[in-house]
Amino acid sequence: MSSAKTVDTTDRVTTTVTENFTTDRKLILLLSIVSGLAIANVYYNQPLLAQMGRNLQVSEHQIGIVPSITQMGYVLGLLVLVPLGDRLERRKLIVTVLSLLVFAIIGVATAPNLTWLTLASLTLGCFSIVAQLIIPMVAQMSSPSERGQTLGMLMSGLSLSLVFARTLSGFVGETFGWRSIYWLSAGLIVTLAITVRGKLPIIPPTSQLSYFKLMGSILQLIREQPVLREASLNIALIFASFNAFWSTMIFFLESAYHYDGKVAGLFGFVGIIGALVTPSIGRLADRYTPRKIINYSIASAIAAFTILAIAGTYLSGLIVGVLFLFLGMHSAYILNQIRIYSLVPNAESRLNTVYMVTNYTGGAIGSFLGAVGWSLWQWHGVCAVAITLIGLAAIIHFKIFSFSNR
């Protein structure tokens, strides 16, 4: 763990925050909602892709790139903005990014063609990274013995917000048109930005490094932290399989069941189960080795796509498969995140940058591969892509088990 001394020792500053910050459940709930509704903008398009394609008069293959582009924008934001969480006062940074997000959302809502929509979606993704400013902030201010539980609470609220956002997207989009969900989101984000500015305490930065040195320290973390590399690759591959499913599910529902975006949104409610068990997973991580629990996350994800491939054309099989998928994804996400936050003190935002950039790069690749799998072999092509990705995650996870037990 020598890197804890080399990353930022000369310019580290002491963070002073009220002791009851992480025990303030109302504040944690607020931050969960802000995180969930900000990142939800990345996913609003998934249950509405078919409608968006018809409205803009483009093919399924053409509109299918929009989720991937949006997630690449998110990766860009993770890379260039999230490290600033260690360098700038976080309340001001969070409010500023939320304000810029509003303009990006309006850009998507007013898109007249696919080119405009693609560029606006890239920008929207870039400024949807608010959760990744909030999560490391909360992790830093949590004691090691309570970090898993606190992050579990935060992630549970975030996940629930995402579940309802996906469902809301399907219903609002199908009822009032796909643009309406973005106008609604713009109004919600404005309200939340004002609320956060009034409720969140001023939180001094933990580093005085220049921006370029800050970015350079990220490369140092990647070189010196094998646990960070392993955890990041693990969640990236699992998230890729998750996105391969979600970015193509609306096409499967329309072709196999003749369902529309409203029903696609309803499937998000299955994710409530994953969100509800997240605090319990966090508490387990405080008591046991998070890495060993990830074994079950991988098993759950593999089971999910096995069920979806075999019985996805039956509604009961589809629901059970989605349930296992949410459980595997949510648990792997929080467990890997808990692992990395204990590596280097006062570098939480930069550790999170590596983790999330890798994660969402995997997600964007998964969305693309899902679209390719669908265009070539329809639903079984999507499931084959997903199982391959999870298989790679399993190989990485078990092959280097001896490197670390964290």
Residue pLDDT tens, the chain, 406 long: 444 444 444 344 334 444 555 557 788 888 888 998 998 899 888 778 888 988 898 887 788 889 889 988 988 998 899 999 888 888 999 999 999 999 999 999 999 999 999 999 999 999 999 998 998 888 777 767 677 777 877 877 777 777 777 677 878 887 899 999 999 999 999 999 999 998 888 878 877 888 888 889 999 999 999 999 999 999 999 999 999 998 888 889 888 888 876 676 667 677 677 667 777 777 777 777 888 889 999 999 999 999 999 999 998 999 899 999 988 998 898 899 888 988 888 788 889 899 988 997 898 899 889 989 998 999 999 999 999 999 999 998 887 544 455 5
Instruction: Please check whether residue 187 lies inside any domain of the structure.
Output: yes
Q: Tell me: the pLDDT tens digits for 297-321?
A: 999 999 999 999 999 999 899 989 9
| Tally of domains within the chain | 1
Q: Tell me: the pLDDT tens digits for 139-161?
A: 777 767 677 777 877 877 777 77
C-beta of residue 77 within 8 angstroms of C-beta of residue 129: yes
Instruction: Please check whether residue 13 lies inside any domain of the structure.
Output: no
Instruction: Please check whether residue 77 lies inside any domain of the structure.
Output: yes
CA–CA separation, 274 vs 318, rounded Å? 16
What CATH number is given to the structural domain containing 392? 1.20.1250.20
Instruction: Please check whether residue 11 lies inside any domain of the structure.
Output: no
- Minimal CA–CA distance to 251: which of 366, 370, 171? 370
Instruction: Please check whether residue 309 lies inside any domain of the structure.
Output: yes
How does 229-251 read in b/e, with b if 16+ C-beta sit within 10 Å?
Answer: bbbbbbbbbbbbbbbbbbbbbbb
How far is CA 279 from each of CA 147, 221, 329, 335, 365, rounded to the nearest angstrom?
A: 11, 28, 14, 11, 29
Q: 84 is in which domain, residue-wise?
A: 19-403
Instruction: Please check whether residue 1 lies inside any domain of the structure.
Output: no
Instruction: Please check whether residue 5 lies inside any domain of the structure.
Output: no
Q: What is the pLDDT of residue 271?
A: 66
